[in-house]
């Protein structure tokens, strides 16, 4: 039985080493995630300011109600938007970290993948809500553009001690 026990110990050590190597391969750059999330959040401010009139037309809010809302701004939607940007940046970073190669092209492709998933989900919901096409395009194109931006930042930014493959 000593042979079987020794064999199990060797297999166990191989499993531990493999797990450690896998964890090293999936490390993420938290600073890059934070910067990417803030960049996406700021893009949202620019995006919805640039398309404000078309976007507001699709909100289905009476002008008086919209004016009341805008006269008493609430921080909660901005905080939720920032937290969601952080989560999407983390997902993009995990996809990039799990890839065989890392870089700007890998970041862009991961951003497109995550952005398309978000955009398609939004389009599906808004089509059943019978929203105007411009509203749907403005709303759904933002996560796609934002995820591509986050993918670029995450793909380009390498943490110290992280080797490129």
Provide φ and ψ at 73, rounded to 5°.
-60, 145
Name residues whose C-beta falls within 8 Å of residue 34's C-beta, 6 or more positions apart in sequence: 86, 89
Looking at the domain assignment, is residue 122 inside a domain? yes
Conformational region of residue 116, where left means phi above 0, alpha means psi within -120 to 50, and beta covers everything else: alpha
Residue 17: the pLDDT is 47
Looking at the domain assignment, is residue 19 inside a domain? no
- Count the domains in the chain: 1
Residue 120: the pLDDT is 97
Through-space distance between the first and last CA atoms of the chain, rounded to whole angstroms: 43
State the Cα–Cα distance between residues 28 and 140, nearest whole angstrom.
27
Residue 100: the pLDDT is 79
Please give the model's pTM, rounded to 2 decimal places: 0.78
Angle at 68 between CA 65 and CA 73, to 5 degrees: 125
Looking at the domain assignment, is residue 17 inside a domain? no
Looking at the domain assignment, is residue 165 inside a domain? no
Instruction: State pLDDT tens for residues 28-50.
Output: 889 999 999 999 999 999 999 99
Highest mean pLDDT among 3-12, 127-136, 151-160: 127-136
Looking at the domain assignment, is residue 139 inside a domain? yes
Looking at the domain assignment, is residue 164 inside a domain? no
Residue 99's domain comprises 28-156
Looking at the domain assignment, is residue 100 inside a domain? yes
Looking at the domain assignment, is residue 2 inside a domain? no
């Amino acid at each position: 039985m000593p042979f079987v026990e020794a064999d199990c110990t060797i297999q166990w050590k191989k499993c531990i080493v493999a797990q450690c190597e896998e964890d090293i391969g999936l490390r993420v750059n938290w600073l890059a995630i934070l910067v990417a999330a803030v960049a996406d959040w700021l893009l949202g401010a620019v995006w919805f300011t640039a398309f404000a009139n078309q976007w507001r037309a699709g909100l289905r809010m009476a002008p008086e109600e919209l004016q009341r809302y805008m006269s008493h701004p609430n921080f909660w939607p901005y905080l939720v938007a920032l937290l969601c940007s952080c989560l999407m940046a983390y997902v993009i970073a995990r996809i990039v970290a799990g890839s065989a190669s890392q870089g700007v092209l890998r970041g862009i492709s991961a951003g497109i993948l995550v952005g398309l998933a978000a955009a398609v989900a939004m389009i599906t919901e808004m089509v059943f809500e019978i929203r105007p096409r411009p509203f749907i395009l403005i709303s759904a194109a933002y996560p796609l553009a934002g995820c591509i931006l986050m993918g670029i930042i995450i793909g380009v930014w390498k943490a110290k001690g992280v080797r490129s493959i």
